Structure 1
Amino acid sequence: MSDAAESNDDVSTSTTEPVHVESAGHLQTLLTDGDVVLVDFHADWCGPCQMLEPVVADIAAETDATVAKVDIDELQALAQENGIRGVPTLLLYADGELVERLVGVQEKSTLVDLVEQHG
């Protein structure tokens, strides 16, 4: 019972953990609901993606941004729609509009600065 009460306290548009995107509609909801959304297009087999994983987790925990993770193998059509040609690719949205596109492993400080700049 206490677990349910604790989880209800966390209801907000931004989360402290990355959100696994289930569908194109789910991503659209996240983009609509969040002021600043960082979308991480990744793949399990991608070494640089694995290196970036703790960085995006920190961004989710330490900033007001919503961090969405899109597995390009699960959601190939969504990756194609977004012009993803390599992973990791990070798309930063502010108020539903794409404001930054970053390809490759990024420094945490760079991502924090971008989130704060658009937040």
Structure 2
Amino acid sequence: MTTINTSAATFEQDVIEPAKDGPVVVAFTADWCGPCKLLKPKLIELATAWEFRLAVVNAGVDRELAAAYGVRGVPTVLVLESGAERLRFSGDRAESELKKLLRAEGLAQTELEF
């Protein structure tokens, strides 16, 4: 589907509105964060292969947005759908664990692997 960089100014149209029609994965990251640099490319590859919407928020810049979602550290990943939080995890994950977590949320549209 789509991977986008979003901010507080566009979060409603980038995340909240699309989440009414299906799950949206939101990754709160920061440019200085080592684990974020490891996790982000894995999420982007999965979003492309499995065709789900991924929104990336720079929590270092959009601190108020991160705080509004209870983000206390980065990376933090949420799966939002229909106004509800379906999944939350923090920190980097091995590819196999990441796939397992997201597959359990119904995000594997295809069996393509990367």
What TM bracket, shorter-length normalisation? 0.7 to 0.9
Q: Which has the larger radius of gyration?
A: 1
Structure with higher helix content: 1
Secondary structure of 1:58's counterpart equals: helix
Aligned residues: 103
Partner of residue 44, structure 2: 57
Partner of residue 7, structure 1: none
Which runs of 5 or more structure 2 residues have no equivalent in the other structure?
A: 107-114
CA RMSD, 1 decimal: 1.8
TM-score (structure 1 length as normaliser): 0.75
Label 1:95 to 1:116 Cα distance change in 2 as closer, same or farther (>3 A): farther
TM-score (structure 2 length as normaliser): 0.78
Asked if the contact 2:78–2:87 (Cα under 8 Å) also holds between the matched residues in 1, the reply is yes
| 1:105 and 2:99 matched | no
CA positional deviation for 1:111? 3.1
Which runs of 5 or more structure 1 residues have no equivalent in the other structure?
A: 1-13
Q: Percent of counterpart pairs with the same letter?
A: 32
Partner of residue 63, structure 2: 76
Q: Give, as a single letter, the amino acid of the residue that structure 1 aligns with 2:27.
A: D
Asked if the contact 2:39–2:93 (Cα under 8 Å) also holds between the matched residues in 1, the reply is yes
